């Protein structure tokens, strides 16, 4: 989820999880970046738990301003346990200059039953 962004036109995310707990499946488009307003480069989920994905809006679509969901990464639960979900994200404007983004990473918890 993007909050209070200004002048955002492209985004690149590098995420990682514990591959013994979660397995990546597909990305899901959203209002921010989707098949009608953007171009995606998705390297797909890797066996080591990493996932690299990028998206750019396509002209004549406007820049992103405000609050919006960029896109989602879908995972399936593989085993009980806990894993950090750690992402580094780079945002750019229409000229390719950095757009500062603050990242809030989290933890997935799936306790043993």
Task: List C-alpha distances in Å: 48 to 23, 36, 57.
Answer: 10, 31, 29
Task: DSSP letter for 30, please.
Answer: -
**Average pLDDT value for the chain:** 96
Find all residues with CB under 8 Å of 42, minimum gap 6, and list them: 27, 52, 53, 54
Q: Provide mean pLDDT across the span 19-28.
A: 97
pLDDT tens digit string along 40-95?
A: 999 999 999 999 999 999 999 999 999 999 999 999 999 999 999 999 999 999 99
Sequence-ordered list of residues with C-beta below 8 angstroms from that of 97, at least 6 positions apart, any chain: none
pLDDT of residue 105 exceeding 90: yes
pTM of the full structure: 0.93
**Separate counts of helices (H) and strands (E) for the chain:** 0, 10
């Amino acid at each position: 989820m993007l909050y209070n962004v200004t002048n955002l036109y492209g985004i690149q995310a590098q995420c990682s999880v514990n591959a013994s707990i979660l397995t990546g499946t597909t990305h899901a488009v959203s209002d921010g970046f989707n098949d009608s307003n953007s171009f995606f480069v998705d390297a797909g989920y890797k066996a080591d738990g990493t996932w690299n994905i990028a998206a750019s809006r396509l002209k004549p679509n406007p820049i992103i301003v405000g609050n919006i969901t960029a896109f989602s990464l879908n995972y399936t639960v593989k085993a009980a346990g806990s894993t950090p979900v750690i992402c580094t994200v780079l945002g750019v404007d229409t000229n390719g200059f950095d757009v500062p983004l603050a990242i809030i990473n989290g933890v997935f918890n799936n306790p043993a039953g």
